[in-house]
Each structure stands twice: as structure tokens, then as C-alpha cells.
Amino acid sequence: MRFTNSALIYTGFYLFVNLTFLSCTKAVEESLNDINAGGSTTIFTEFSNSFQQPAANLDKEGLDDHRSGDLLFESIFVTSPSPQNSGLGPIFVQNACVSCHPKNGRAAFPESGSDMGGLLARISLPGSGIHGENISVPGFGTQLQTKANFGVIPEGQLSYFNEFIEGLMADGSSYTLRRPVFKIFNTYLPFPSEVQMSVRIGPPIFGLGLLESISEEELLKRVDPDDKNKDGISGRLNYVYDDRVGKMAIGRFGWKASQPSIYNQTAHAFLEDMGLSSPYLPQDPSYGQVQQDSKADDPEVTDDVVRLAAFYAQSLGVPAPRRQNLPDVIYGKKLFAYIGCEKCHTSKMQTGPNSDHPFLANQSIQPYTDLLLHDMGPGLADHRSDGLANGNEWRTPPLWGIGLTQVVGGHTNFLHDGRARNLEEAIMWHDGEGRSSKDGYAKLSKKDKEKLLLFLNSL
Ligand code: HEC
Ligand code: HEC
Ligand SMILES: [Ca+2]
Ligand SMILES: [Ca+2]
Ligand SMILES: [Ca+2]
């Protein structure tokens, strides 16, 4: 992929951009005063523990459950039998939730040759089942387990090499994008050549209870599958089969919105990431394989364990944005709207009723996501479908808290596989429906780019 030509065409246009958008709406300015990004759950801290605070409005009982969930999230699971945290494996990816969501934030892109850290590989054969689900790879299932208990062989290993793509901005400055090319090797059985692979990195997990509480109606307001308003953006919802309740549901979680609830996402994480069966998903990932776990200790985690670990993610507070009254931040936010970022990274959302967790209900929030799938072009494509999402489509990730990535995680790796080494690279990867706002960014003057990034870093 080459950005060079398109970027050069726009040389000289950026001055024009600066002059015309100053008339931007008053509404943007007013919203700047509201720093409760997570409604009443919002917490105010700018330290490395910013993603580890309970929601500000949790009651005593909620706080107790939150703390129990916290312990589970940080627990290291071990081989069965063990008096505590038993049941890991026999094949798994990591032995703890925190391994891939360090300090509840995103994992760093791993160094080549080392442990693959917070990365995992989803795999499947081409096509899909009757409910749109992925087709298992015989002997491997739909996720590659790269580690194993003593005496057991992992399904295979994951590694990558980097390609670098050079480009020029409109002002003549150059940029480089890193594209990791992943491969699976050392498989315990011959690996079918037609396997489709999607490599993903652990995202931050705070604020998810709020995203789960946004009503279908609120989400449908922004859906535009046929791009009727002709703005080049045609977001749609993912609909996936919820095998827990036996019906189709809106997908919200994961980089392709393939999980309908935090509970389901959590149970799948226990199972596929750590090899822990639960009442909802009782079959170990090694089930039916030659190295099948034959210990009679299923389910290895109880429904309560899954529920509390899920509740932990649901009940984390959202950090408030910072420095919102700085003129450059205000200007950066205007640019964000002006070049179309806001069209997918929707700042304002409203949660609906939530009878299970009233503290999440009816909150005005600023997640900077529409939770919709967008075609992001061939450069980001994984060529593997997931529910209704095709190989080009990704769910808009929330941007709340993104400016705290460095202070929390000590890195600035972004996008679904952590390939972007900073915010600018993340923006320059946008293509497809994100093309015009990417071009809009590339056309900005150096100063304006800095202001846009300053705004992102204030979130
Ligand atoms: C091997 C790494 C790994 C481990 C271990 C892991 N996760 Fe994840 N987690 C991920 C990845 C990768 C995703 C994105 C999944 C996708 O795109 O389908 C994710 C997504 C999530 C999400 C949804 C986030 C969102 O914004 O949609 C939640 C919630 C979550 N994980 C919770 C957990 C819990 C709870 C555990 C422990 C039981 C856990 N994870 C263990 C890697 C991991
Ligand atoms: C067409 C919808 C759309 C538009 C417009 C858009 N984005 Fe995105 N953005 C996405 C999607 C989808 C992803 C995830 C892509 C991936 O991970 O492969 C993303 C990812 C990101 C990320 C990385 C987030 C993370 O958690 O890793 C940042 C930062 C970002 N966008 C900022 C911007 C900015 C700034 C603009 C305006 C210049 C913008 N986006 C315009 C849809 C959009
Ligand atoms: Ca097990
Ligand atoms: Ca597997
Ligand atoms: Ca549209």
C-alpha cells in the first residue's frame, strides 16, 4: 500500500483548512466543560493506576464484588489438581487475565522472538456455520494455544516479521508505518494451508459496562449500511449468535464486536486464553484432540467466578479527560470533528436502563466510539470474517483514556494487533471508510497535527 501519491496531491491545501473551520459549532465548545466521560462512574486520576479504579458510584455490595473480581483478574492459574486457581490448560495462551490486559490497559506489541505477550491468534477454515460462526480448524479449533502444561505439546507457535511502509504528509514531512506479518509454525499436527488467521492484542477493559448498557435504539441511530447520507461512512452493527441464550444478539466486544456481552467474552477468555472450562462453556479447548484433558474436574471455574471477573470489567471507573480548557486542546477537539474523526469515534452516547447494574443506567458518556463496524481498507484487513464482520471490518475502538496509555502501560502501541507505534501511526493506518479523515489529518499543518494529538492525549 502506498500513501505517498495521494498525500502529495494535497500539498498546499492545509492553510485553506485552517481558515474555514473556525466557524465550527458552539456545541463542541460547550461539551468541553463536561469532563465526566464515564457519567457517574468517572474517576479523576492521571497515574499508572488510572484504569484500576472502581466506578465512583459503586455501592458497598458492588465494591465487594468488584474487589473479588479484581483478585480473579490478577490470579495466576495453575495445572490441576491444585487447591486454588486450578485447571489451567492443558493448552493455553497465558495463565492470567492481567498477562494480556496489564493494569487493565492494552498490552504492548511484543518483541520479536519473545513470548507473544498479549497477542493471540484466532484461526478458522473459510466459510461460516449456520449461525455465522467460524469453522473450526480440525485439531486446532478457532484459537491457537501457544503454551501447554508439562508433558503436553502446544498447538503451535506464533511469530512475525515487520514490513515498513514509507509515506509523505502534505507538508513534506515523512512517516513510516510498521506492518507485522504473522505466521504460525511448529504446529503439533500438520496445519491446513487454507487456514484464515486474525491476530489481536489485549485491549483496555474499563468502561465496558457502560458500552454494554447502550440501548440498541441508540446504536441504530448511527447505522448507515448503504451510506444514504453520502459521507463515505457506512457503519453497521455486528450481529452474532449468543450461544448462551440461543439467539442472535448485537455484538459489542472484541476488535470485531464478535461477543454480545462481557460475561460471554469473559467465559471465552477463561476457556480459549487460559484453558479453563465453566458451566456455560464446559468443553476444554483441547476437547476432541489427541491431547485431550481427561481429568474429571469440569467445570474448572464456577459461574460465580466468571460472573465476578466479568463484573470487574463492568464496574471499573472511566478516567476523566484532562486539560480540557487549554486553548490548544479545544482547538484540537474542533479539528477532530472537522476532519471527520467524530463520525465514527462518537463522543457522546447515552446508556439505557440496566436493571442488573443500576449504576450503569441512564448515563451520559463520552466513549468516542459508535460500536459499529467499518471497512478500514486492505492495509488493516485480516481476511477472516467474525459474525457479520468481514475481513476488512473493525469495530470503532473507544478513545476514552487513550492519552493515559503511556503512563499506564509504558508504551503507545495501538490498533487491533498493536502495530501502530504512536497515535499518528494509528491515524495514518485509517483507510476505506476512514480514508477521508486520514487524508484530512495528513493535510493539516504541523502545528495543527500537534493540537489534534494533544487533544487525543487529553482523553
Ligand atoms: C492471551 C491474552 C488474553 C488473555 C489471557 C485474556 N484476554 Fe481478554 N482480550 C484479549 C484480546 C486479544 C481481546 C480482543 C478479542 C477480540 O478481538 O476478539 C480481549 C478482549 C477482552 C474483553 C473485551 C474488551 C473490549 O473492548 O471489547 C474483555 C472484557 C476481556 N478481554 C476480559 C478478559 C478476562 C476477564 C480475562 C481473564 C479471564 C482475559 N480477558 C484474558 C486477550 C486476552
Ligand atoms: C470510518 C470510521 C473511523 C473514522 C472516520 C476514524 N476512525 Fe479511528 N478507528 C476506527 C476503527 C474501526 C479503528 C480500529 C482499526 C484497527 O484496529 O484495525 C480505529 C482506530 C483508531 C485509533 C487506535 C485506537 C486503539 O484503541 O488502538 C485511534 C487513535 C484513532 N482511530 C483515531 C482516529 C482519529 C484521530 C480519526 C480522525 C483523523 C479517526 N480515528 C477517524 C474507525 C474510524
Ligand atoms: Ca483445563
Ligand atoms: Ca485451539
Ligand atoms: Ca454515511
pLDDT digits (tens, 9 = 90+) for 386-430: 999 999 999 999 999 999 999 999 999 999 999 999 999 999 999
Please tell me the pTM assigned to this model.
0.94
Q: How far is the CA of 230 from the centre of ligand 5 (A)?
A: 5
Looking at the structure of the chain, the number of domains it has is 1
Helix then strand then coil, in percent of the chain rounded to 5, is 30, 20, 50
Percentage of the residues of the chain whose pLDDT score is greater than 70: 93
26 has pLDDT over 60 = no
Q: Return the DSSP state at 121.
A: E
* 144 Cβ closer than 6 Å to some ligand 1 atom: no
21 has pLDDT over 60 = no
Residue 295's pLDDT is 86
Angle between helices 327-338 and 446-458 (to 10 degrees): 100
364 has pLDDT over 70 = yes
Q: What is the mean pLDDT of residues 10-18?
A: 38
Contact yes or no for 167/174 (Cβ under 8 A)? yes
180 has pLDDT over 60 = yes
27 has pLDDT over 80 = no
User: pLDDT tier at 293 (50, 70, 90 boundaries)?
Assistant: confident
Residues with CB under 5 A from ligand 3 (ion): 87, 275, 284
By C-alpha distance, which of 43, 39, 45 is closest to 211?
39
Residue 294's pLDDT is 84
Residue type, 457: N
Q: What grid cell was written down for 194?
A: 487454507
By C-alpha distance, which of 96, 118, 92 is closest to 105?
118
The residue to mutate among 21, 175, 227, 344, having the most atoms of ligand 2 within 8 angstroms of its beta carbon, is 344
6 has pLDDT over 50 = no
Q: What grid cell was written down for 451?
A: 493540537
Structural domain range at position 393: 4-458
Q: Can you tell me which atom of ligand 1 is nearest the CA of 398?
A: 26
Residue 33's pLDDT is 58
The ligand with the least distance to the CA atom of 81 is 3
By C-alpha distance, which of 446, 402, 143 is closest to 286?
143
Residues with CB under 5 A from ligand 4 (ion): 140-141, 145, 285
Q: How far is the CA of 81 from the centre of ligand 1 (A)?
A: 25
Residue 29's pLDDT is 47
Contact yes or no for 349/74 (Cβ under 8 A)? no
Q: Can you tell me which atom of ligand 2 is nearest the CA of 397?
A: 26
Residue type, 87: G
24 has pLDDT over 70 = no
Taking residue 20's Cβ as centre, other Cβ atoms within 10 Å add up to: 10
Q: What grid cell was written down for 441?
A: 489529518
The ligand with the least distance to the CA atom of 256 is 1
Higher per-residue pLDDT: 406 or 18: 406
Q: What mean pLDDT, rounded, does the chain reach?
A: 93
* 416 Cβ closer than 6 Å to some ligand 2 atom: yes
* Three-state secondary structure call for residue 158: strand
User: pLDDT tier at 318 (50, 70, 90 boundaries)?
Assistant: very high
* 309 Cβ closer than 6 Å to some ligand 1 atom: yes
Q: What grid cell was written down for 54?
A: 472502581
Phi/psi at 41 (5° precision): -85, -10
Residues with CB under 5 A from ligand 5 (ion): 224, 227, 229, 231, 233
The pLDDT tens digits for 218-250 are 999 999 999 999 999 999 999 999 999 999 999
The pLDDT tens digits for 35-54 are 999 999 999 999 999 999 99
11 has pLDDT over 90 = no
* 429 Cβ closer than 6 Å to some ligand 1 atom: no
H-type alpha helices, 207-350: 208-212, 216-220, 262-268, 274, 303-314, 327-338
Residue 17's pLDDT is 42
* 258 Cβ closer than 6 Å to some ligand 1 atom: yes
Q: What is the mean pLDDT of residues 159-171?
A: 95
